[in-house]
Amino acid sequence: MKRTFITTLLIVGVIHVVSAQFSVRLIVNGVATKKEDEIYVSGTFNNWNPKDINYKLKPFAGGRKGIVLKDVAIGNYAFKFTRGSFDKVECMADGREINDRIVDVSADMSLDFDIAGWKDDYPERPKRYTATPQVKIIDTAFNIPQLNRKRRIWIYLPKGYATSGKIYPVLYMHDGQNLFNEQTASFEEWGVDECLDTLQKKIDSECIVVGIDHGSEKRINEYCPYDYSLKNSFITPDSKGEGKFYVDFLVKNLKPYIDSKFRTKKGREFTFIAGSSMGGLISEYAMLTYQDVFGAAGIFSPSFWIAPAIFDEATKGENNVLSRFYFYGGGKESTTMISDIEKMYDLLGKKKRYEIARLINPIGEHKEKFWKQAFPEFYIWLMKKD
């Protein structure tokens, strides 16, 4: 068994499991505008779903609105109030973004808040198109036959691609909207293209990156490999896991297309996959179920909590080829993020031919900003030459 330890920002001694659970009451006393609209609370406790019906505030006395969160485990939780989407998230009275609200749960508590403004009251300046010339859109409506849907596909080609005649490894990444272009990113873009333009020169290792847009309201379904039920704290009206079909599409349709149209190294040792949050979960699943296709994965802040069966998947069988896993997590994400990564790390560590690395940022939040910061070190690990 070969294991790699990355010590930068490494945490962790022992993760203690605390069984105590409490009630947390969140009360909104006043709202600056749109007082009649429904209000939701979105945070690390429900994977930042901005319109989770189970986290909708109810009328309280005195014209207030509130919610009681029951059976909350001890720990730190980050959250914000929304009106059903992050385009309508709370903000400061002048339109500036507010920091995540933080609650440290260690007893029953009641907290009062005022909402100074909503983001949609302050139209933003148009976002810039920031993708570098190395980024192209292959297709705005690439067919996904397994799901009867279509999707935009991006590709990043190294600067020397057009003149070198070389063949290249390929990294497949989820949430393509957020990888290259500020104009299409829901929040902050990863800046994968700018990072690689610089980094590939320094380490002399180039790679093609393929970005697959997520399916908007179907994102959770497509990135979850199993059906998720009322036992999960995050619930949507449609709880069908479609991750198997999505991964089948990557393997049976998208990869063959990329290999036929571009100069790629087709072997598993040169085929990688990466993503964050739900994208981290589906990257883990793809690695476990298609070991003959993917040789390495970048698993950033994975949402293992919504699919506990992924841990069982990790115990199945024995691999005959070297598989490489890179885990990243932030200390200020969900209360189970680090312990879930540690659990998966230990399970995979029992395999004979797994190489495993982990990077833990104690101040990391569940945001693109922190995944962007972690990406260069992941890429160096991914492209290392033995």
Q: pLDDT at residue 17 above 60?
A: no
pLDDT in tens, 329-338: 999 998 899 9
**What's residue 237's pLDDT?**
47
Contact 336, 367 (CB under 8 A): no
pLDDT in tens, 337-357: 999 999 999 999 988 788 999
- Based on the fold, state whether residues 96 and 146 are members of the same structural domain: no
Residue at 3 is within a domain: no
What is the C-alpha separation between 196 and 321, in angstroms, rounded?
28
- Based on the fold, state whether residues 345 and 196 are members of the same structural domain: yes
- What domain range includes position 200? 135-382
Number of Cβ within a 10 Å radius of residue 304: 23
Closest CA to 385 of 258, 194, 207: 207
CA 224 to chain centre: 12
- Based on the fold, state whether residues 162 and 106 are members of the same structural domain: no
Number of Cβ within a 10 Å radius of residue 51: 17
Mean pLDDT of 283-301: 97
Among 89, 121, 153, the domain-final residue is 121
Looking at the structure of the chain, the number of domains it has is 2
- Stated pTM of the model: 0.73
Q: Which residues contact 65 (CB under 8 A, 6 or more apart)?
A: 27, 28, 39, 57, 58, 59
Q: pLDDT at residue 15 above 90?
A: no
Mean pLDDT of 110-120: 94
The H or E element that residue 327 is part of is strand 323-330
Among 63, 88, 121, the domain-final residue is 121
The CATH number given to whatever domain includes residue 87 is: 2.60.40.10
